[in-house]
Amino acid sequence: MTEIRLTNTATRRKDPLEPLVVEGKPSMYVCGPTVYDRAHIGNARPVIVFDVLFRLLRHVYGAENVTYVRNVTDVDDKINARATESGRTIREITDETAAWYLEDMAAVGALEPTAMPRATEWIAQMVAMIEGLIASGHAYEAEGHVLFRVRSYDDYGKLSGRSVDDMIAGARVEVAPYKEDPMDFVLWKPSTDDLPGWESPWGRGRPGWHIECSAMAQGLLGESFDIHGGGNDLIFPHHENEIAQSKCSGHAFARIWLHNEMLQVEGKKMSKSLGNFFTVRDLLDQGIPGEVIRFVFLSTHYRKPMDWTEKKRVEATNRLAAWFRKTDGVEPAKVVPTSVVTALADDLNTHLAMVEMNSFSAPYLKAAMQLLGFPEAEDVDWFRALEPEFVSTATGEGPHADLLVPLLRRWQALREARDFAAADALKAQLEGAGLKLSAKDGEASAEILPEFDAGRLEGVE
């Protein structure tokens, strides 16, 4: 069986995946959306990353043996604020935006997880966990709130690599007079009559954000599970707090912690003030296919910052169109090439996998595309309206023109000089790099095939 190795934030190394709960049946929990608005493109990155991991696990272990849980946070102050602003009910907002989320994530090729628990359906389990933390001295009640005693857990800060004292300075913590320590975080807080609330031993209230994931992960995956994922912005405080409250509740919790890097737009942090903030739906409405969005995302390794640029979007559109043209009407191979599975099994190296795919014959390319979550050519139409990519000596323009036009002119000059042996040798080198050459009326051109690799032309003259 293929060994999968993943970079574990908790150990700072690549660890082998060795399913803990049931032999050969891996389990994964990923922090999902807070449903109050459309998902922006940064929200889509962890969805796509962990969808590829989900697909890889299903490929290696069998679809029926993999459990993937991604929660829905439907009780949150942002949701409450949106309800107040709009005059709509909280349930109307969360139902609508949760549906939007699934629709947009399906458009970028994401499978639905095995389970998608809503926080509001797990309140009883959260209350029970909080009661246990109070009983063991890890939490305390103060002015209707229940707070976790951070200093009661000796390993607090181990995930993020910082001590408690280091975190206090400039940390994102709420200062409140009822806290024993500034780092203590809320497990339960009181609700006024106009806010969502549930009865509890501490009065009517609602859960803090962190306790939600601990209760749902433990309830659906058991005392311990294999992988916990999310964006690296969640390492502190969310995941740090999840670990503390879960382990102090007696749960071993997750063994491998996987975090993707953040997304930028044209080299800058995405923000509304810079005018570069947009949602997945914005891109789809502009006519950018979901599979193109997916291609751009997977072209960068998940542990590297990803830059969404118009140039990358165009390149992804052209490369994916070429893949679709090549695989249209072709029966996929029954096995995915080993090189692709090996690349994905080595810490989800999607970039390497896609480089490998450029050299595959059509049946194997189609099988690899399926594993990476791309649709079949027969199920999409947009690529049929696009012409293949060409570069020509007639105009001196086209993709990779600076590299290719001089080589094409050299090939044509050799042909005109009737040095056919040298011309054929150069043609073989160019076509070996993924080009299809042709000549007409004294001009040379090349179609750029899906397998084109400019690196193969280094040193060619």
272 is in an annotated binding site: yes
Helix (H, G, I), strand (E, B) or coil at 54: helix
Phi, psi for residue 74 in degrees, rounded to 5: -115, 20
The CA distance from 344 to 52, in Å, is 9
Distance (Å, whole) CA 8 – CA 229: 10
Of 292, 122, 142, the closest CA to residue 212 belongs to: 122
Which amino acid belongs to residue 129? Answer: M
- Amino acid (one-letter) located at 351: H
Question: Measured between alpha carbons, how far is 218 from 135 in angstroms, rounded to an integer?
Answer: 19
**Residue 31 is assigned to a ligand binding site:** yes
Q: What is the C-alpha to C-alpha distance for residues 184 and 208, in angstroms, rounded to an integer?
A: 12
Q: With beta carbons less than 8 A apart as the criterion, state whether 14 and 56 touch.
A: no
Q: Which helix (H) or strand (E) holds 412?
A: helix 401-416
Given a contact cutoff of 8 angstroms between Cβ atoms, the answer to whether 436 and 428 are in contact is no
Over its C-alpha atoms, the chain yields an Rg (Å, rounded) of 26
Collapsing DSSP to helix, strand or coil, 304 comes out as: coil
**SS3 annotation, 46-83:** HHHHHHHHHHHHHHHHCHHHCEEEECEECCCHHHHHHH
Q: What single-letter amino acid sits at 161?
A: G
Q: Which two tokens stand for residue 311?
A: 């140039």
CA distance 238 to 442: 65
Angle between helices 310-327 and 362-371 (to 10 degrees): 130
Write the burial class of residue 148 (CB in 10 Å: 0-12 exposed, 13-18 middle, 19+ buried): buried
User: Are the C-beta atoms of 312 and 318 separated by less than 8 Å?
Assistant: no
Q: Is there a binding annotation on residue 40?
A: no
The amino acid occupying position 49 is V
Q: How many residues does the chain have?
A: 461
Distances in Å between the Cα of 45 and the Cα atoms of 115, 285, 310, 449 are 19, 19, 17, 28
Taking the C-alpha atoms of residue 240 and residue 235, their distance in angstroms, rounded to an integer, is 6
- Judge whether 242 is annotated as a binding position: yes
User: How far is it, in rounded angstroms, from Cα 99 to Cα 283?
Assistant: 18
Task: Indicate the annotated binding residues.
Answer: 31, 213, 238, 242, 272
Task: Indicate the annotated binding residues for ATP.
Answer: 272
Task: Indicate the annotated binding residues for Zn(2+).
Answer: 31, 213, 238, 242
